[in-house]
Structure 1
Amino acid sequence: MKHTNKGLLLKGLKFLAGALPLSFIGPVVLFSAAKNQEHTWFIPVMAFAILAMAAAVYLMFRGINIVMKALFE
């Protein structure tokens, strides 16, 4: 009978915890940037929002991958 690798599980949960704030910050900043298209900081803010959302997706994928590895290996 296999047991869960607790260290690996905690590592995966840390990745998921890092993705949680980014998954809220990215869309909020994107919406804010879309409402202020005439502002001079529009492009950098839009780029930050897209990077935050991409980082959230990556961290979620990586975290779920690590959790699955901890549970089933």
Structure 2
Amino acid sequence: MDPVAFVLILLALIVIVTALVAVAGQRQRPGGRGSAPGTGFHELKSDYQSGVGGGHSQSWKIPRDPQDYAKLFIPKDAKK
């Protein structure tokens, strides 16, 4: 078999297997990305530790409703 043909066939097989694995991975994911919209808030936490005695902890509350979340990015003095 010609080496160029062998490389092309091998490359095509790799592309096909990669595509099949990607499709299978998407189908196995329950509910897709993110979390379901609703009422109330999500609470996000961030912790940072730096050596002995150093560090920082922060938490945020983000609205679960996508429209309320989008409104956070609109400047207060924007015209309607």
TM over 0.5: no
State which structure, 1 or 2, has the greater radius of gyration over its C-alpha atoms. 2
Quick one: higher RCO (CA 8 Å, sep 6+), 1 or 2? 1
TM-score range, shorter chain: 0.3 to 0.5
